[in-house]
Amino acid sequence: MVRLISIDALADIPHTLGIWRDFCAQTEVPYFVSAEWMEFWLPRLAPGTMLRLILVESEDIFRAGFFLGVSTIRQRRLWPTRAICLNVSGQDEQDVFIEYNTIVCPTGRPPDFWQVVGAMPLEWEEWGLPGLDASSFPGCCLSQSNASYCVTIVRDDPSPYVDLERVRRSGNLLALLRSNSRQQLRHALKRVGEEYGQLAVRAAGDLHHALEIFEELAALHSTTWAARGESGAFAAPQRLQFHRDWIAERFAHGEMQLLRVTAGQRTLACMMNVVYRGRVYSYQTGIQYGPLAALKPGYLAHLQAIEYNADLGHQSYDFLAGDSRYKRNLSTDANRLIWARIQKPRLKFYLENHLRAVVRRWRKRRQVR
């Protein structure tokens, strides 16, 4: 059996971070549950945010730990729902789009996941599990049936990545790509060189340069999304400032990589990557389209960034979740990420899910007509 200890994570942030550093020091963790990320994120949560640190004890040993954001959600639901959410606050304006989410297990021996769910010391009706690594705990447990709860996989996506050791062995990324992709990129490289000048990638060497690249990235990103009739990631001023603060605080620790890819004197793209324990996560990109649109500027920018990080000796370059064509064409491998929810048996969930199914069938019939 397991026992869960619930701690108010924001009541004494230094104490919380001390516990979390001890947990993370005992095992390898992805960036968005790391002690480094929590050092930045926890102090920026708004007053009144309900965030609990949950420690899982079994046989007098702490087997696991995680954070839970507690909130009441309504969204498009007909009824309010008491929700908890894994390693995020549950308030969109305070959270990043978390990927490779997991529960940290310092001993390497995860507890029984359904015992953890059953022993939860909080009042809840729905547990949101965003961006889980399907190969780690608890993502690997959700295929196990449990009669006491309803498990729904909301989203299931590949997370394509490039094995940078393979790039180093082959000499460059092009050698690893399919012949059609390789031919198209070689043609684009030639044309860009002839029309604009040689491609180059430059990384920010100091914080001032990093923030300068980020401002250009945000402008390019916003222009691209506005052309599609959408707002993009930086439309809200608080989101833009959140990213500025993130760079300002964590750049000196080597976690934020800001790149500018140029063709001659022209910016091709600006890139914001997260670097953690040899893994490079392609987090945000601003691409210069316009007259360059036909020359695959996004492909060429990632090509430069991949080979730059291979030269630095990193392990992988991860495009993160999504099945976009450029991710498939440039990657060598893929992980799997899932977004899931666990619901307790409630009449309101049955009615809500039934109504959703009716709407889906109605839409499908309309499309057939």
pLDDT by residue (tens digit) across 100-155?
999 999 988 899 999 999 999 999 999 999 999 999 999 999 988 788 899 999 99
pLDDT at 369 over 70: no
Question: What pLDDT was estimated at residue 80?
Answer: 84
Is the omega angle on the peptide bond into residue 138 within 30 degrees of 0, that is, cis? yes
DSSP helix/strand/coil, 66 = strand
One-letter identity of residue 182: R
End-to-end CA distance of the chain: 55
pLDDT at 82 over 80: yes
The answer, as to whether pTM is greater than 0.85, is yes
pLDDT by residue (tens digit) across 169-214?
999 999 999 999 999 999 999 999 999 999 999 999 999 999 999 9
C-alpha to C-alpha distance for 228 and 143, rounded to whole angstroms: 37
pLDDT at 314 over 90: yes
Question: What pLDDT was estimated at residue 50?
Answer: 96
pLDDT at 366 over 90: no
List of residues 6+ apart from 149 with CB closer than 8 A: 114, 117, 342, 343, 344, 345
Q: What are the angstrom distances between the C-alpha of 366 and each of 142, 353, 361, 363?
A: 33, 20, 9, 5
Confidence band, pLDDT 50/70/90 cuts, at residue 76: low
Neighbouring C-alpha atoms within 13 Å toward the C-beta of 342:
23
Query: Tokens 């082959």 sit at which residue?
Result: 170
pLDDT at 228 over 80: yes
Asked which of 71-75, 126-130, 326-330 is least confident by mean pLDDT, the reply is 71-75
Question: What pLDDT was estimated at residue 292?
Answer: 82
Please, what sign has the CA dihedral across residues 237, 159, 73, 64?
negative
Protein fold of 161-334: Aminopeptidase (3.40.630)
> Buried b vs exposed e over 300-321: b needs ≥16 C-beta within 10 Å?
bbbbbbbbbbbeeebbbbbbbb
CATH 3.40.630.30 in the chain, residues?
161-334
pLDDT at 260 over 80: yes
pLDDT cut 90: percent of the chain above it: 78
Write the DSSP symbol of residue 185.
H
C-alpha to C-alpha distance for 44 and 19, rounded to whole angstroms: 19
| Inter-residue contact 136 to 105 (CB < 8 Å) | no
Question: What pLDDT was estimated at residue 51?
Answer: 97
Question: What pLDDT was estimated at residue 368?
Answer: 62
CATH 3.40.630 fits 3-149+344-368, yes or no: yes
Question: What pLDDT was estimated at residue 130?
Answer: 97
Tokens of 362: 């109605």
pLDDT mean across residues, the chain:
92
Question: What pLDDT was estimated at residue 169?
Answer: 97
Question: What pLDDT was estimated at residue 353?
Answer: 74
C-alpha to C-alpha distance for 314 and 277, rounded to whole angstroms: 8
Q: Which residue in 178, 238, 248, 177 sits closest to 210, CA to CA?
A: 248
Question: What pLDDT was estimated at residue 229?
Answer: 87
C-alpha to C-alpha distance for 37 and 43, rounded to whole angstroms: 11
For residue 76, what is the enclosing H or E element?
Answer: none
Question: What pLDDT was estimated at residue 70?
Answer: 95
Confidence band, pLDDT 50/70/90 cuts, at residue 78: low
Question: What pLDDT was estimated at residue 250?
Answer: 97
List of residues 6+ apart from 114 with CB closer than 8 A: 141, 144, 146, 148, 149
Question: What pLDDT was estimated at residue 214?
Answer: 98
C-alpha to C-alpha distance for 320 and 314, rounded to whole angstroms: 16
> Buried b vs exposed e over 265-288: b needs ≥16 C-beta within 10 Å?
eebbbbbbbbbbeebbbbbbbbbb
- Residue 366 has phi, psi (to 5 degrees) of -65, -40
Strands 81-86 and 126-133 turn out to be parallel
pLDDT by residue (tens digit) across 275-293?
999 999 999 999 998 888 8
